[in-house]
């Protein structure tokens, strides 16, 4: 993990969880003395230590592992590409689990194109409430009222001032504004012992307001802190703001976040977009949406270089993702599905996945995407079986959607690019019939017409009948699957 404070918290948690098991847990960070650190490093090399929790210190060349099997990266967005390359060099065949509420664009893109597996935890902790977020111009009066309201309910406050040079001045001003508040200061340039003691004192409730830098961003868990004030939020990244906001509201209490930008300075376009996104996206579990928006704002970066952001201007993002996905599939030895034919199917039918059948918007979009990529009847049957297994029996609208998918599969098989319905008339094109098939057409659909010039079939259907079923019956009657 990226910070010593978080390493200490994780170390305490792991020690408690594994207390009844023969698993030796140690922490390696700058809070240890040189003698203690040497002892931990020796234990890793000999294999005496089963689980080590640490900061970037674990990536130094002096740290050797006897038999590393699993690497877990917490707060992945705080590690640069060089750090991740160092992790890869620890051992070739090591399983890696990266965790983050807001992955950096490069990592998110690698998961979207299939280089990494992606898993989402959508269920919030019990009693967790959305954080009320205020984004606006700097206002000392609003901040003072926020502090006093938090003190009235016996809570604590994080005040983020991300400038070490002036942080003591800001703390003095807060003491003048709110004399009844006990104010402490914490930042990464402090002496290790002093920093640890201040954080512990704040944890135990000896202070009311902690004026700090973004050192608190990564995973600090303090349930009594339920108000956050951030100065110069326009200078922070989108993921940073979401991570900072996640430091409050961790106990089921209603929490408040105030993100301020200067009154006298115009915001850049990117800063405006970041602040607008963080203000609008306040739902629980919204980190993935914020990371996707960050990907749109900053670009995806390079898969093989060190750039973590940047724009793909040459080919466009969709085509780029398609090319990368195909290259990854080829390297994995999988069958590469190239362009799915562009088929226009316009059938007057209520075909969709109802919200009460598939509640999650992300799952519905993924289901539609998979259905659009189907090229044969086997894949379509697999999708139908999966829907029934995950969401239950198909409602009428979902059954109609599967029927439309079946029509698309037949169109791909026969080279048809367009099927349109207009009132009680269905038009299918382009299509070529041999003499025997023309006779079959007259037999299975006596009232159908075949226009040679446009090479299309115009088929009247009975009022009230299912147009998708009528199209399938016609196509399957005209063309036997084994017919060349």
The predicted structure's pLDDT at residue 50: 94
Query: What is the sign, positive or negative, of the torsion defined by CA atoms of 374, 380, 382, 388?
Result: positive
Q: What percent of the chain has pLDDT over 90?
A: 21
Least confident span in 193-197, 244-248, 397-401, 471-475: 471-475
The span from the CA of 44 to the CA of 96, in Å, is 18
Which residue, 241, 258, 284, sits at the end of a domain?
284
Residues 137, 68 share a domain: no
Q: What residues contact residue 407 under an 8 Å CB cut-off, 6+ apart? A: 345, 347, 419, 468, 471, 472, 475
Which CATH number characterizes residue 161's domain? 3.40.50.300
For residues 33-59, average pLDDT: 90
Residues 360, 440 share a domain: yes
- Please report whether residue 54 resides in a domain: yes
Q: Which of 231, 233, 291, 299 is nearest to 267 (CA)?
A: 233
Domain carrying residue 33: 4-99
The predicted structure's pLDDT at residue 362: 72
For the chain, the distance separating the N- and C-terminal CA atoms, rounded to the nearest angstrom, is 61
- Please report whether residue 323 resides in a domain: no
Tokens of residue 432, six digits: 């070529």
| Residue 254 binned pLDDT confidence (cut-offs 50, 70, 90) | confident
Least confident span in 14-23, 183-192, 404-413, 427-436: 427-436
Residues 85, 181 share a domain: no
Which CATH number characterizes residue 420's domain? 3.90.1150.50
Which residue, 258, 284, 310, sits at the end of a domain?
284
Residues 67, 193 share a domain: no
- Please report whether residue 310 resides in a domain: no
Read off the pLDDT of residues 394-440 as tens digits, 9 standing for 90 and up.
998 899 889 888 888 888 887 788 888 776 677 777 777 777 777 77
Which residue, 284, 310, 334, sits at the end of a domain?
284
- Please report whether residue 312 resides in a domain: no
Q: What residues pair up with 421 in beta bridges, in sequence order?
A: 426
Comparison of pLDDT for 355 and 110, the residue scoring more? 355
The span from the CA of 312 to the CA of 113, in Å, is 14
Residues 165, 277 share a domain: yes
Tokens of residue 76, six digits: 């992945």
Residues 278, 172 share a domain: yes
Tokens of residue 353, six digits: 């996945």
For the cut 80, the answer to whether the pLDDT of residue 29 exceeds it is yes
Comparison of pLDDT for 435 and 305, the residue scoring more? 435
**Alpha-carbon separation of residue 180 from 147, 228, 445, 467 (angstroms):** 10, 18, 88, 74
For the cut 80, the answer to whether the pLDDT of residue 331 exceeds it is no
The span from the CA of 397 to the CA of 353, in Å, is 6
Least confident span in 314-328, 336-350, 365-379: 314-328
- Please report whether residue 139 resides in a domain: yes
For the cut 90, the answer to whether the pLDDT of residue 463 exceeds it is no
For the cut 80, the answer to whether the pLDDT of residue 42 exceeds it is yes
Rounded (10°) angle between helices 467-478 and 396-414: 30
Q: What is the largest CA-CA distance in the chain?
A: 96
Average pLDDT, the chain: 80
- Please report whether residue 84 resides in a domain: yes
For residues 18-36, average pLDDT: 89
Query: What is the sign, positive or negative, of the torsion defined by CA atoms of 103, 27, 3, 81?
Result: negative
The predicted structure's pLDDT at residue 316: 56
For the cut 90, the answer to whether the pLDDT of residue 325 exceeds it is no
The rounded radius of gyration (Å) of the Cα atoms in the chain is 30
Residues 207, 70 share a domain: no
For residues 89-107, average pLDDT: 75
Residues 233, 144 share a domain: yes
Can you state the percent helix, strand and coil of the chain, rounding each to 5?
A: 45, 15, 40
Comparison of pLDDT for 39 and 341, the residue scoring more? 39
For the cut 70, the answer to whether the pLDDT of residue 172 exceeds it is yes
The predicted structure's pLDDT at residue 109: 67
- Please report whether residue 306 resides in a domain: no
| Residue 263 binned pLDDT confidence (cut-offs 50, 70, 90) | confident
Tokens of residue 406, six digits: 């079946």
| Residue 452 binned pLDDT confidence (cut-offs 50, 70, 90) | low
Residues 141, 228 share a domain: yes
The predicted structure's pLDDT at residue 123: 75
Residues 349, 465 share a domain: yes
Query: DSSP labels for 36-73?
Result: HHHHHHHHHHHT--SEEEESGGGGSTT---SS--EEEE
- Please report whether residue 165 resides in a domain: yes
The predicted structure's pLDDT at residue 410: 84
SS (H, E, C) 7-41: HHHHHHHHHHHCCCCCCCEEEECCCCCHHHHHHHH
**Pairing between β-strand 418-422 and β-strand 344-346 as defined by DSSP bridges:** parallel
Residues 146, 187 share a domain: yes
Residues 253, 163 share a domain: yes
The predicted structure's pLDDT at residue 415: 78
Read off the pLDDT of residues 312-321 as tens digits, 9 standing for 90 and up.
545 555 566 6
The predicted structure's pLDDT at residue 308: 46
For residues 343-355, average pLDDT: 82
For residues 218-233, average pLDDT: 84
For the cut 80, the answer to whether the pLDDT of residue 444 exceeds it is no
Based on the structure, what is the number of domains in the chain?
3
């Amino acid at each position: 993990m990226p910070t010593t404070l978080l390493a200490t918290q994780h170390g305490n948690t792991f020690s408690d969880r594994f207390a009844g098991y023969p698993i030796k847990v140690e922490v390696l960070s700058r809070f240890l003395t040189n003698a203690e650190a040497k002892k931990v490093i020796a234990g890793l090399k000999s294999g005496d230590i089963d689980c080590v929790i640490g900061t970037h210190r674990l990536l130094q060349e002096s740290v050797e592992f006897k038999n590393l099997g699993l690497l877990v990266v917490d707060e992945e967005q705080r590690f640069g590409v060089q750090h991740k390359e160092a992790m890869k060099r620890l051992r070739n065949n090591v399983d890696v689990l990266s965790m983050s509420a807001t992955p950096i664009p490069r990592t998110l893109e690698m998961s979207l194109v299939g280089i990494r597996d992606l898993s989402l935890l959508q269920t919030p902790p019990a009693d967790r409430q959305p954080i009320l977020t205020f984004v606006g111009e700097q206002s000392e009066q609003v901040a003072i009222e926020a502090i006093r309201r938090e003190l009235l309910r016996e809570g604590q406050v994080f005040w983020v001032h991300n400038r070490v040079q002036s942080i003591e001045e800001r703390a003095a001003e807060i003491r003048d504004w709110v004399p009844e508040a006990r104010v402490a200061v914490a930042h990464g340039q402090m002496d290790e012992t002093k920093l640890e003691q201040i954080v512990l004192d704040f944890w135990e409730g000896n202070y009311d307001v902690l004026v700090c830098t973004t050192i608190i961003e990564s995973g600090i868990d303090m349930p009594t802190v339920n108000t956050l004030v951030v100065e110069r939020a326009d200078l922070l990244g989108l993921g940073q703001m979401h991570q900072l906001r996640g430091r409050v509201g961790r106990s089921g209490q209603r929490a408040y976040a105030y993100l301020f930008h200067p009154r006298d300075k115009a915001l850049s376009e990117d800063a405006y977009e970041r602040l607008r996104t963080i203000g609008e996206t306040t739902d629980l579990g919204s980190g993935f949406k914020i990371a996707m928006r960050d990907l749109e704002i900053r670009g995806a970066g390079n898969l093989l270089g060190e750039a973590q952001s940047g724009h793909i201007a040459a080919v466009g993002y969709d085509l780029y993702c398609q090319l990368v996905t195909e290259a990854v599939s080829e390297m994995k030895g999988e069958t590469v599905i190239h362009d799915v034919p562009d088929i226009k199917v316009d059938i007057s039918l209520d075909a969709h996945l109802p919200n009460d059948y598939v509640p999650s918007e992300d799952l519905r979009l993924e289901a539609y995407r998979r259905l659009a990529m189907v090229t044969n009847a086997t894949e379509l049957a697999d999708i139908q079986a999966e829907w029934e297994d995950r969401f239950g029996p198909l409602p009428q609208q979902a059954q109609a959607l599967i029927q439309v998918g079946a029509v698309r599969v037949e169109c791909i098989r026969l080279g048809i690019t367009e099927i349109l319905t207009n009132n009680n008339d269905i038009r299918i094109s382009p299509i070529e019939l041999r003499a025997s098939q023309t006779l079959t057409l007259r037999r299975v659909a006596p009232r159908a017409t075949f226009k040679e010039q446009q090479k299309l079939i115009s088929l009247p259907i009975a009022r009230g009948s299912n147009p998708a079923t009528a199209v399938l019956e016609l196509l399957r009657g005209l063309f036997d699957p084994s017919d060349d």
